[in-house]
Amino acid sequence: MKKLNREVNLIIGATGMVGNEICRLLTAEGRTVRAMVRDTADPEKVRKLKDMGVQIVRGDLRRSVTFGPALEGVTNVITTTSSMPFSYVAGENDIQKVDLEGVKNFIDHAKIAGVEHFIYTSFSGNIDLSFPLLRAKRAVEQHLEESGMEYTILRPGYFMEVWLTPAAGFDFANAKAQICGDGTKPISYISALDVARFATASLDNPAARNTSLELGGPEKISQLKAVQIFEEVSGQKFEVQHVSEKALRTQMDEASDPMQKSFSALMTCAATGNPINMDPVLQEFPIKLTSVKDYARSVVATSFADTY
């Protein structure tokens, strides 16, 4: 049963895509939602959260003195925050300070504050490389599991909204795509909006308690198949450029910055594939997943409209 009258749900990462959608879903259900946002957060994004009915509390994972007001009376915490890829500043807002130390410290304070359920967004378990972001995520997972709080660990694979965009070399507006490796290995691309739906569903579903959920999309498709889908939807022939797996591994090995090393590692993993079997999860969470074609239709239509 949903404890709408007394629960308070704290969202960390509410100005990001997944966190913002979580806020929208929960406020639409009539739940009490609080967002911990940094002083440097985009004022327009904060205004939109307020317009949803979200309580705004200023706080920063790098400053534990700000945790108290955010955690006061909180029942559930959902964190989707990460320094990567868009807010990374080496030595200031980075993997060590935010993704590792910040989240672990917040878990400790959440336990002391009496939080009942902590939902943490990590990354796919189908990764066989070691790199800074993944090591931080796994360390936080272990810390949460040992905290004594009830927990849910969400392990999504490759977000469509990142890896099928110009930020990752997939420039659908100009019909160009950079492919990692030969592009033939299957990947279970998942929509960030679907990850938000799993996060909110985890609040009430007993199957989400004290477990990790491997999350992917409804299909296992190659990068080249994704290109083909976008070509069909847009009616444009894509220019495709390949970056060899060897070159990606060299980039990873030679990178000194943790973000660059992590991003090169994620590209290398994309080259080797990231298929996720969603059947077991969907038996417990009957969520209709967004396909790559669904996503392509939405972004191509928006891109086309913006040109006129």
Q: What is the pLDDT of residues 36-90, one digit of tens each?
A: 999 999 999 999 999 999 999 999 999 999 999 999 999 999 999 998 877 788 8
**What CATH class is the domain 9-223+254-303?**
alpha beta
* The two three-digit tokens of residue 137, written as one number: 């995520």
Terminal Cα distance for the chain, rounded: 48
Does the global pTM surpass 0.85?
yes
Burial of residue 219 (CB within 10 Å: 0-12, 13-18, 19+) is middle
In whole angstroms, give the CA distance from residue 254 to residue 226.
29
The number of residues in the chain equals 308
Regions of the chain with pLDDT less than 50: 1, 304-308
36 phi and psi, to 5 degrees?
Answer: -95, 115
Tally of CB atoms within 10 A around 106: 26
In whole angstroms, give the CA distance from residue 59 to residue 42.
14
Q: 128, 78, 68: which is closest to 103 by C-alpha?
A: 78
